[in-house]
């Protein structure tokens, strides 16, 4: 086990307005202390992110050295309201700031079967697709099933799937997942 020295009165952990400063191994500025989750200045303040960071911190603690680092995959988020709202990846403003060339796929979907069958009138999507590569840069959804669809977008983004690869998939129909091919 690595010797990180003993804790002393002079050992302190640094913090910012967003939380305790941590390395990508989830180690604080005090080498004997790890931190993860909402108390840190790292990733989004979401329960699954806290668990992800905690696994990295725990593995490093048990290994006695920083063998693992946090490399955040695309992180989906949902607001459990009526209508449901979900997002993953970059916003249109963030894509523009990065100077990327992209296409915006936007549509209101109140007349789609998935919305009609549950009487949802205020539904839609915006999906940002990089020109040339076809990579999904961001997906923003509103309506029933968004909380599940966004997970599929996150998985596709993490796997590097292109819009054309998603379009080529065959989904069970009529399911909320089957709408994804029409969104890209």
Residue with tokens 């009487």: 119
32-40 long-range contacts, CB within 8 A, separation 24+: 32/4, 32/5, 32/6, 32/7, 34/60, 34/61
pLDDT of 132 reads 97
**Which tokens hold the place of 19?**
């939380």
Q: Are strands 124-130 and 77-79 parallel, antiparallel or unpaired?
A: unpaired
Q: What is the pLDDT along the chain (184 residues), one digit of tens a residue?
A: 444 444 443 456 687 778 899 999 999 999 899 999 999 988 889 899 999 999 999 999 999 999 999 999 999 999 999 999 999 999 999 999 999 999 999 999 999 999 999 999 999 999 999 999 999 999 999 999 999 999 999 999 999 999 999 999 999 988 899 999 999 9
pLDDT of 105 reads 98
**Which tokens hold the place of 3?**
């010797």
- Whether residue 116 contacts residue 183, with contact meaning beta carbons closer than 8 Å, is answered with no
Question: Which residues, in sequence order, are CB contacts of 175 under 8 Å at separation 6+?
Answer: 114, 145
Q: Which H or E run includes 140?
A: strand 136-142
DSSP H helices, 30-145, are 47-63, 92-97, 113-116
pLDDT of 11 reads 53
Q: Can you tell me the distance from the alpha carbon of 109 to that of 29, in angstroms, rounded to the nearest whole number? A: 49
pLDDT of 100 reads 97
pLDDT of 12 reads 63
E-state strands within the chain: 15-16, 19-20, 77-79, 85-89, 102-108, 124-130, 136-142
Cα torsion 167, 170, 174, 177: sign: negative
How far is CA 98 from its chain centroid?
18
pLDDT of 164 reads 97
Q: Is 118 left (phi over 0), alpha (psi -120 to 50) or beta?
A: alpha
């Amino acid at each position: 086990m690595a010797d990180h020295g003993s804790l002393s009165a002079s050992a302190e952990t640094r913090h910012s307005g967003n939380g305790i400063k941590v390395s990508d191994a989830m180690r604080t500025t005090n080498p004997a202390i790890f931190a993860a989750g909402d108390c840190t200045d790292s990733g989004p303040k979401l329960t699954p992110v806290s668990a992800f960071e905690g696994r990295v911190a725990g593995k490093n603690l048990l290994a006695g050295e920083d063998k693992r680092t946090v490399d955040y995959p695309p992180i989906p988020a949902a607001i459990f309201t009526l209508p449901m709202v979900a997002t993953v990846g970059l916003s249109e403003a963030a894509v523009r700031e990065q100077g990327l060339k992209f296409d915006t796929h936007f549509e209101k979907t109140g007349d789609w079967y998935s919305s009609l069958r549950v009487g949802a009138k205020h539904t839609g999507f915006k999906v940002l697709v990089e020109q040339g590569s076809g990579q999904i840069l961001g997906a923003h959804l509103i309506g029933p099933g968004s909380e599940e669809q966004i997970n599929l977008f996150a998985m596709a983004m993490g796997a590097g799937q292109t819009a054309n690869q998603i379009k080529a998939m065959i989904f069970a129909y009529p399911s909320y997942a089957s709408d994804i091919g029409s969104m890209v």
